[in-house]
Amino acid sequence: MKSQVLKPKIYCLHYNECNHSKCTSRKLNRLNLLTIIKKIESPLYKAIILNPFSQKILSIDDREKILKHGLIVIDCSWKNILKLKDLISINSRKLPSLIAVNPVNFGKWEKLSSAEAIAAALYITKFEDYSKLILSKFSWGNEFFNINYKKK
């Protein structure tokens, strides 16, 4: 019997600033792996929001909150990233420093695509199977794990 993959609800606050053909969150939306939202409204106020300006780093302690309320990634141009400072909330979390492998920002520290950010957050919070499912939809996805989560 195959074990069931736990699938927390994943949302993307999408600012519509990207190249549609390269947008990882749009692809995940087409595959029904995330829901695109235009603003954060109740009941999503309790969800974990991935925000690079947060003072708190995402950890395994956030697992239950993600399972219960969801995970929100923000998709905006890196040129306009400063607008995220206004989104700091009690549930904002930043990821640890990771290397991007997406074709647009390959090899750059902390310039992850939405798919990489979601997968990293899921991996950190022990939703590893779902994390791998997310990145399996991209030809470069497995490389993200090879570079950032090498076995020691």
Q: What is the pLDDT of residues 24-35, one digit of tens each?
A: 999 999 999 999
Whether 73 shows a pLDDT value over 80: the answer reads yes
Contacts with 94 (C-beta within 8 Å, 6 or more apart), sequence order = 50, 51, 52, 53, 54, 55, 56, 57, 58
Whether 127 shows a pLDDT value over 90: the answer reads yes
| Reported pTM | 0.90
Residue 140 CA to residue 106 CA, distance in Å, equals 10
Q: Across residues 73-86, what is the average pLDDT? A: 75
Residue 16 vs residue 123, higher pLDDT: 123
